[in-house]
């Protein structure tokens, strides 16, 4: 029988008297810069060692953080949670909703930054309209319309070398925001138009909001003493989003249905939350998928073969069309495994627990670092190889090579092997290992799973299907590096080159 170890013995960076560990983020030296949390996680993984857990204690305004680097432990914690799972509260958002703008929110806190009964009551008012598969399927025509417009815009903004501009990530933000407006608010926000000043203001606030979050939530909470620049940016952005949702709420879209059943205020608050979590994340997922496919001609060729065989001619796409694209779905899953838009999910323990052999007291915040687990060899063989085939079910696999040309690469022994053979070998090893259901959780798990998951998947599938059906996408630059903003996004410009395919439409 294994001995349960004391909480104090969990390895981790040592806190200083009075200053705790917050000084590390305040100074901002690697690996403790808020934009370098991926590096921080790898350092914590090294500290965890064979025990499989690490701890960051004594952070201003936060409970102690425990990181179990083990999918089995993640499953145990998730499966023991009650009907009202608790996340650690985001202090700034809680302050905004429950104090600064209490006159508006009142007893309707929304879905983000809250937990317990208030969260559960609000979720019960909105979940039916969001989680049902039929809801996302019904949104396909409007989202397809947005995707068509986005491709038109891509043609307008590429240069004479058919290269995307340096601010292409911002263009992806616009597409994601326009998509959320289409299915949630039932209206076109005009983000893909150069003339819409409202859209430009929205994008500005999206950037301001997300770039201020890490500083406000992880560094010393100076905003509680005086209004820092980041705090002012944060509040101005939230006020702008709230006014947008009030002004643009229509009698169409998902929020319109909720307005009829629960009132316009509930619908507006939901729309605000959807904007906060549905723009930056979806844009980042699209960017990473495009990048990884652009660097992997084998996977891109196979995807294009599937699109050529399955996409209809002369009409908009529907949900049945998307169901015939398993390799596209696998491409997105593989991108989210390697570059998840959020590095980890969390839960606040509501009772004492034993995690990775350590006693962990009630109130501790457990962070599930799925970014680390989904990039470890023990869960995903050859984790640094982009191999969508590892996600295909038996009925979706094929040994057909989609390209007749020879694609050879060198392995570690400098022997040349076919790329298709290597992908097949990795997929075979993955089948032998299996895919642990808690090793890669880009949308979370349980009742607090991303409530807009189905819509985000449809948005990504439609847009990526159209891009790779029409274009060969290539990448002419070095390896992208990533930062946490708090979404995990590339640092360098996304200057993809798009060449029209002879077979494309």
pLDDT given at position 130? 86
Domain boundaries, the chain: 7-87+343-373
Q: Give per-residue pLDDT as tens, 88-141.
A: 667 788 888 888 998 888 888 888 877 778 888 888 888 888 888 888 899 999
Element spanning 207, H or E: helix 197-218
pLDDT one-digit tens code per residue, 444-463: 887 778 888 899 999 999 99
Q: What whole-number distance in Å separates Cα of residue 307 and Cα of residue 454?
A: 21
Edge to edge, what strands does the sheet with 345-348 contain?
Answer: 53-56, 65-68, 365-368, 345-348
Mean pLDDT to the nearest integer, 421-448: 90
Place of tokens 């200053």: 19
The residues, ordered by sequence, that sit 6+ positions from 5 with a Cβ below 8 Å of its Cβ are 51, 357, 358, 359
Residue 83's pLDDT is 56
What average pLDDT score do residues 31-53 get?
A: 88
pLDDT-derived band at 196 (thresholds 50, 70, 90) equals: low
Give the domain 7-87+343-373 fold.
Answer: 3.30.43
The pLDDT value given to residue 405: 47
**What gap in Å lies between CA 132 and CA 258, rounded to an integer?**
14
Pull the structure tokens for residue 483. Answer: 């930062």
| Sign of the C-alpha dihedral computed for residues 95, 96, 102 and 106 taken in this order | negative
Supply the DSSP symbol for 124.
H
The answer on pLDDT for 413 being more than 70 is no
3-state secondary structure 433-480: HCCCCCCCCCCCCHHHCCCCHHHHHHHHHHHHHHHHHHEEEECCCCCC
CA distance 30 to 284: 23
pLDDT at 401 over 60: no
Judged against a pLDDT cut of 50, whether residue 505 lies above it is answered with: no
Q: Residue 438, Cα to own-chain centre: how many angstroms?
A: 16
pLDDT given at position 450: 82
Instruction: Render pLDDT for 479-498 as a digit per residue (tens, 0 to 9).
Output: 999 998 888 999 999 999 99
* Confidence (pLDDT) at 23: 81
Q: Is 161 exposed, middle or buried (0-12, 13-18, 19+ CB in 10 A)?
A: exposed
User: Which has more confidence, 81 or 328?
Assistant: 328
Return the pLDDT at 200: 72
With a pLDDT cut of 90, the percent of the chain lying above it is: 49
Q: How many Å apart are CA 379 and CA 360, to the nearest integer?
A: 25
Confidence of residue 277 (pLDDT cuts 50, 70, 90): confident
- Give the pLDDT of residue 400: 46
- Position 440 scores a pLDDT of 93
Tokens standing for 99?
A: 């104090």
CA distance 348 to 54: 16
Q: What is the mean pLDDT of the chain?
A: 87
**Angle separating helix axes 453-470 and 168-180, nearest 10 degrees:** 130
Residues 360-377: pLDDT tens digits? 999 899 999 999 999 999
Both tokens of 69, joined, read: 């680097």
Q: What distance in Å separates the CA atoms of residue 299 and residue 317, rounded to the nearest whole number?
A: 23
Q: Is 450 annotated as a binding residue?
A: yes
User: With contact defined as beta carbons under 8 Å apart, do 345 and 444 qualify?
Assistant: yes
Picking from 65-74, 158-167, 444-453, 475-484, which range would have the lowest pLDDT averaged per residue?
444-453
3-state secondary structure of 361: coil
429 or 418: which carries more pLDDT confidence?
A: 429
Which residues lie closer than 8 Å to 445 by C-beta, 6 or more apart?
78, 345, 438
Q: How many Å apart are CA 264 and CA 245, to the nearest integer? A: 10
Q: State both tokens at 131.
A: 């989680």
Tokens of 89: 């509260």
* Distance between CA atoms of residues 343 and 291, nearest Å: 18
What angle do helix axes 453-470 and 297-310 make, rounded to 10 degrees?
100
Q: Mean pLDDT across the stretch 69-89?
A: 79
Whole-angstrom Cα distance, residue 180 to residue 185?
A: 7
Flag whether pLDDT at 296 surpasses 70: yes
Answer with the residue of higher pLDDT: 200 or 185: 185
Tell me if 497 sits within 8 A of 476, measured CB to CB: yes
**For the residues 175-200, what does the mean pLDDT come to?**
84
Residues 207-250 have pLDDT tens digits of 788 778 777 876 667 888 888 888 999 999 889 888 888 888 88
CB 372 within 8 A of CB 45: yes
Query: pTM of the predicted model, to two decimals?
Result: 0.91
Residue at token pair 């705790």: 20
């Amino acid at each position: 029988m294994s001995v349960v170890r004391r909480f104090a013995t969990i390895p981790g960076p040592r806190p200083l008297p009075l200053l705790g560990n917050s000084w590390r983020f305040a100074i901002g030296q690697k690996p403790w810069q808020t934009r370098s949390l991926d590096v921080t996680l790898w350092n914590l993984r090294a500290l965890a060692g064979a025990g499989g857990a690490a701890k960051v204690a004594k952070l201003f305004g936060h409970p102690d953080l425990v990181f179990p680097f083990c999918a089995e432990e993640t499953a145990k914690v998730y499966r023991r949670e009650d009907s009202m799972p608790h996340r650690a509260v985001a202090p700034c958002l809680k302050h905004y909703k429950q104090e600064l703008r209490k006159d508006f929110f009142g007893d309707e806190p929304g879905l983000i930054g809250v937990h317990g009964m208030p969260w559960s009551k609000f979720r019960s008012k909105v979940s039916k309209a969001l989680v049902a598969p039929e809801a996302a399927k019904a949104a396909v025509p409007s989202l397809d319309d947005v995707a068509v417009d986005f491709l038109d815009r891509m043609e307008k903004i590429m240069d004479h070398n058919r290269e995307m501009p340096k601010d292409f990530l911002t263009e992806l933000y616009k597409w994601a925001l326009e998509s959320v407006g289409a299915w949630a608010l039932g209206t076109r926000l005009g983000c893909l138009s150069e003339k819409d000043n409202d859209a430009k203001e929205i994008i500005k606030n999206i950037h301001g909001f997300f770039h201020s979050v890490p500083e406000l939530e992880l560094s010393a909470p100076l905003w509680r003493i005086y209004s820092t620049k980041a705090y002012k940016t944060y509040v101005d952005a939230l006020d702008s989003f709230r006014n947008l949702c009030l002004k643009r709420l229509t009698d169409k879209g998902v929020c319109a249905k909720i307005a009829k059943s629960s009132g316009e205020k509930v619908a507006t608050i939901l729309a605000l939350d959807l904007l906060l979590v549905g723009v930056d994340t979806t844009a980042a997922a699209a960017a990473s998928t495009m990048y990884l496919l652009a660097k992997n001609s084998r996977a891109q060729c196979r995807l294009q073969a599937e699109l050529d065989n399955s996409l209809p001619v002369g009409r908009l796409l529907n949900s049945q069309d998307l169901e015939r694209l398993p390799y596209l779905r696998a491409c997105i899953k593989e991108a989210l495994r390697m570059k998840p838009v959020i590095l980890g999910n969390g839960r606040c323990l509501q009772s004492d627990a034993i995690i990775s052999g350590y006693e962990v007291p009630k109130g501790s915040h457990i962070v599930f670092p799925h970014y680390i687990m989904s990039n470890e060899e023990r869960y995903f063989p050859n984790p640094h190889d982009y191999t969508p085939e590892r996600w295909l079910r038996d009925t979706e696999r094929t040994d057909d090579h989609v390209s007749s040309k020879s694609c050879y690469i060198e392995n570690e022994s400098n022997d040349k092997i076919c790329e298709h053979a290597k992908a097949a070998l990795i997929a075979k090893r993955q089948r032998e290992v299996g895919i642990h259901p808690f090793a890669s959780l880009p949308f979370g798990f349980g009742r607090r799973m991303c409530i807009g998951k189905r819509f985000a998947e449809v948005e990504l599938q439609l847009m990526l299907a159209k891009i790779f059906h029409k274009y060969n996408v290539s990448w002419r630059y070095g390896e992208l590096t990533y930062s946490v903003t708090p979404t995990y996004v590339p640092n360098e410009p996304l200057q993809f080159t798009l060449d029209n395919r002879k077979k494309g439409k």
